[in-house]
Structure 1
């Protein structure tokens, strides 16, 4: 795979993660983004035996979009602190089945991770090991399709980062993601594989060295079902 580099300097490298590539090594052993970045840096700087690559954010394997990696331990520390303090802004584009009741809304739920099946579920507040999950969404456009009925393109701003958060919260709000074979019952029943319609489109961060704000944006306009929509 040829890396699609959006930005690179001495401290960070920002790339487009393709769907189906793991963010980091998982039990499948398939090649992951950390490995691709490391190989790229090794090729670019052959005098460096083991180039440093720090994983700052994680995207679910089926999800594509913008990812930032640290090239130094200092950058890793500074960017990880931004994640911890919720100062890094992550905006996703999702195609959901159905139409939201509101043009804009904030979803607040408590999620519990089910490690045995690699899923999460919404549970009552106070449930052991449950974590608060908050996201904001905005409706961008709605279209009618023959195969799947009404589909809606929404923009999602994550306030927290939980396991499968967007997928679980939207499904719980009766707005399951198109193509999601874990949380959308229509696609769970299908035998053929479909690519989940969730994309990390915008990432805004404070540069770890200059402290300037950077915004990186990639839109999947040519990919189905995003190609059905015009109002990104």
Structure 2
């Protein structure tokens, strides 16, 4: 039985890389839900668009949480997958996000350094201010782009890629992401997904080594529609 192909916007494609916009609500890879995932959908799309026989290779280089949308890249060859994975491990893989949080952080701009431990069974992480058993270091830098008082639009640059990192660290400083009930946000009927968007991914090309940046802005839905396009762009480009 074939895979029903969802329209996923392509930001860039060559023989080695595929950069796309992940829709919120779609898993990065197959999970226990059995719902269509990015890897499966994109393989089916490549097979159809390029009329490829047999199986299509596509390597998962990094992940976005299911409720998160935005820029995401995949490797189209095993060599590209290996080199991009090296970039991730070597932290030459740049990722920026925007998010909407409840309230206003105490500091306009800051680097948060914590330790995070994931509970696999509950799919939730705990944040510690000091080293703790099985907890890994988690570091990000944020900047308040604009605030309404009740909510703030935040620019984020990740320095480490821990599970639920932005969600958990912002909640830890008293500003959970809008719509993120798992980490203490208030329930808002109009928010289907959490207010977190991958605005850019920067990576050295796996063969040319040229630094490439792929960008995305969220759709005009709540909570993004609370801010002007200029405010969203300012936040998205602050750390790029």
Give the TM interval when normalised to the shorter protein: over 0.9
Alpha-carbon deviation of 1:107? 0.4
Map Cα deviations across residues 183-206 of structure 1 (whole Å, 9 max, x no partner).
02423xx78873100000111111
CA distance 1:95–1:115, shift in 2 (3 Å): same
Deviation larger for 193-202 or 105-114: 193-202
Alpha-carbon deviation of 1:133? 0.3
Partner of 2:171: 171
CA distance 1:185–1:96, shift in 2 (3 Å): closer
Unaligned regions of 5+ residues in structure 1, if any?
145-149
1:224 aligns with 2:212: no
CA distance 1:192–1:16, shift in 2 (3 Å): closer
Partner of 2:64: 59
Contact 1:143 1:228 in 2 (8 A): no
Partner of 1:68: 73
Between the aligned partners of 2:102 and 2:93, the Cα distance in structure 1 is: 28
TM normalised by structure 2 equals 0.90
CA distance 1:124–1:139, shift in 2 (3 Å): closer
Alpha-carbon deviation of 1:220? 1.1
Map Cα deviations across residues 111-147 of structure 1 (whole Å, 9 max, x no partner).
1101111000113533211101000001101125xxx
Between the aligned partners of 1:3 and 1:191, the Cα distance in structure 2 is: 26
Between the aligned partners of 1:124 and 1:88, the Cα distance in structure 2 is: 25
Runs of 4+ in structure 1 deviating by more than 6 angstroms, as ranges, are 190-193
Contact 2:8 2:23 in 1 (8 A): no
Across the aligned residues of Structure 1 and Structure 2, the Cα RMSD in angstroms comes to 1.5
